[in-house]
Amino acid sequence: MYHKWLDRWDEQRARRGEEAKKATAFVLDSSLAFPAEKRAGTVQEFCTLADRALTDSSFYDEPSESDHDFVMREGWLRFPSDLSTEVEENNLVWAKVTESGSLDQALVIFHHWNAGRRNRQISKFFSQRGVTVLEIAMPYHFERSRPGSLYAEDMLSPSLGRTIQSVRQAVLDGRKLIRWLRGEGYGEISVLGMSLGSWVAGLIAAHEPAVTKASLFLTAGSLADMVWTGRATRAIRDSLEPAIEISDLRKAWGLLNLESYAPNLARADLALHLVIATRDKVVLPELSRRFIEKLHEAGARPSVLELNCGHYSLAMPPYILLAGWSLKRFLSPEG
């Protein structure tokens, strides 16, 4: 009975999230994803460019070493993104910093798609336990929103190229912030990603050797499959489905598939922690389990917590308490 009520609550929450979303035109926008390449005119040409970029180990590398332009003021850190877009607000990165008074450990948090606020409770909890917390704004979120937009439609959309550009920008921004943290003297640096933020955190962990722990909440491997099957992305699928097959979408967004980087995530000096919801309709549990299998095949041994709740009800007790306690153990020095 309780879980039926929980499922209804998750569905009501999902419907509220749909109010601002609308189907928009499918576009390739290959020049946004691959600016140095010839513009793709077909889905097949786009997939060829994506396959080529997938073999380029530098795709998620920082384009510059300019770390002198960070400004810290009254608990806020801001710095310019190294990837410039036509939205001026999006080109300045903001992070809310909750300091612990210690340089032993820092945690960088990447929130879920369309997050409306940062999580003061998580930041306060960990800062009181010696972990400095930085809640970074992903592209087109919080202070970086496109003026007049009702949700972060540029971060995840039926534009194949803009979605890749946005995720790549998020990864570059996160790596730049982590590089700054190292320069400030922080020892252990961890990342925490939630839902879409878990893809960003996972990509950073796969490419940034300074990250020693990565916690991924409500995650999976294939972003294409998540968008195609997920409850929160129906408007995007409605735009994609008439124009592209799921098999081609997987190729086009192979750069965003964490399974593509399973060997990187399995490196010996990286600890992984995953939290999945077994009643999730946004990130289907079978997608999460397939990702875990790929990690095991690559030699990783992630700590996995499965909770019998939905995507949105993870935020409710007792599930959020169980997830938080598991994260606390994972981040502890002996974790």
Structural element, H or E, at residue 216: strand 211-217
pLDDT band of 67, cuts 50, 70, 90: low
Condensed to tens digits (0 to 9), the pLDDT of residues 222-232 reads 999 999 999 99
The pTM assigned to this predicted structure is 0.96
Which residues, other chains included, contact 220 with Cβ-Cβ below 8 Å and sequence gap of 6+? Answer: 226, 258, 283, 284, 287, 288, 290, 291
Which residues, other chains included, contact 91 with Cβ-Cβ below 8 Å and sequence gap of 6+? Answer: 80, 81, 84, 85
Across the strands, what pairs with 39? none
Strands (E), 50-154: 71-73, 76-80, 92-98, 105-110, 131-136
Would you say 313 and 10 are in contact if contact means Cβ atoms under 8 Å apart?
yes
Q: What is the mean pLDDT of residues 198-214?
A: 98
Q: What is the mean pLDDT of residues 22-51?
A: 95
pLDDT of amino acid 3: 72
pLDDT of amino acid 2: 67
Token pair for residue 318? 């007792």
Across the strands, what pairs with 95? 77, 136
Structural element, H or E, at residue 188: strand 188-194
Amino acid identity of residue 137, one-letter, is: A
Domains of the chain, start order: 2-331 (3.40.50.1820)
